Amino acid sequence: MIATTTAMAADIPVTSAHTTAEAIVLPRRFDVHEVTRFDAAVNRVSMPGTLVVIDGSAVRYLDRAAMDALIQARLRCIDHGGDLALSDLSVAARVILELTGRYDALNPRRDAA
C-alpha cells in the first residue's frame, strides 16, 4: 500500500524553491503491481513549489518497473515545477538503486541517507 502525507516545511527541510513537502511512503515490496498506485500518488501531490519526498525505509524489494517509475516520477515533478527526493532508504533499496546506477538520479537526501 502506498501512503501519502502532507508535511509542512518545518517537518521536512525544503529549499527556498519549495514551499511545501509531500511524503509518499513506499511499501515493503515495490514492484510492477504497485506502480499504478505510486503514479497516482505522485500525480495527486506533484505541483509547483512542492518537494515530493519518497520514504523508502520499509522497502526490501524493487523491480525494474518500480525503479523506472521512480525516475519518471522525478521527471514529472520537475516538469510540474517541483522536485522529488529520496529519504530514509532501507539498505536493501539503496544497494539496489546504487548497483543499477539510479541512486544519484533520484536526488537522495544526503542528511537522511
Q: For 5-22, write each residue's pLDDT tens digit.
A: 654 434 555 455 668 999
Report field, pTM of the whole predicted structure over 0.95: no
User: What are the residue boundaries of the structural domains of the chain, listed by start?
Assistant: 3-10+19-106
Are residues 44 and 5 in contact, defined by beta-carbon separation less than 8 angstroms? no
The residue with greater pLDDT, 99 or 8, is: 99
Amino acid 113: pLDDT: 39
| Span 73-91, pLDDT tens digits | 999 999 999 999 999 999 9
Nearest to 22 by CA among 48, 1, 51, 2: 51
Amino acid 109: pLDDT: 84
Amino acid 19: pLDDT: 81
Least confident residue range of 16-30, 32-46, 85-99: 16-30
- 3-10+19-106: what fold? Transcription Regulator spoIIAA (3.30.750)
Are residues 53 and 21 in contact, defined by beta-carbon separation less than 8 angstroms? yes
